[in-house]
Amino acid sequence: MFEGVTADWPNGLHDALLRTLTIDYTSARATLALNIWVGDPSAATEADREAYRAVTLTISGLLWCIIESPTSQDEVPADGLWIDGGLLSDLKEKPSVPTVPADAIALWLYVREWNSFIYIAGREASAES
């Protein structure tokens, strides 16, 4: 489900930039405007190594979204919050979050500037460039 959405993202959510996170409770949807890192670390030029692409990631059938309190008050960079992320099921140490049904997905996002996490669970994921 989520892996299919990110299949053409060579680095997944690693070193992505979160520009906005919108929660629409009436539509049960979370929308993340991201710049994902599509660079190739072994590329010849810095531009190719540090390439980013704008993507909108939508989590439909939103079950919950948990945003931990930032432990830092650093200014947000103009290009967005630096994140890393993936499937909650891939974490060795699971956070204390609500149970996720078998037919749903749960994501974790680590926000470097905040030194804290965002957790999102929903029924479907989709992305568009």
Asked if 6 and 59 count as a contact pair (C-beta separation under 8 A), the reply is no
**Residue spans of beta strands (DSSP E) within the chain:** 16-24, 29-37, 52-60, 64-67, 81-87, 105-111, 116-122, 124-128
The full set of domain ranges for the chain reads: 2-128
Q: What would the pLDDT profile of 84-120 be if each residue is shown by its tens digit? A: 999 998 889 889 999 999 999 999 999 999 999 999 9
The Cβ of residue 18 has, within 10 Å, a number of other Cβ atoms equal to: 22
Q: What would the pLDDT profile of 4-25 be if each residue is shown by its tens digit? A: 777 788 888 999 999 999 999 9
What is the model's pLDDT at position 1? Answer: 63
What is the percent of the chain where pLDDT is above 90?
65
What is the percent of the chain where pLDDT is above 70?
98
Phi-psi region of 114 (alpha: psi -120 to 50; beta: other; left: phi over 0): alpha
What is the model's pLDDT at position 124? Answer: 95
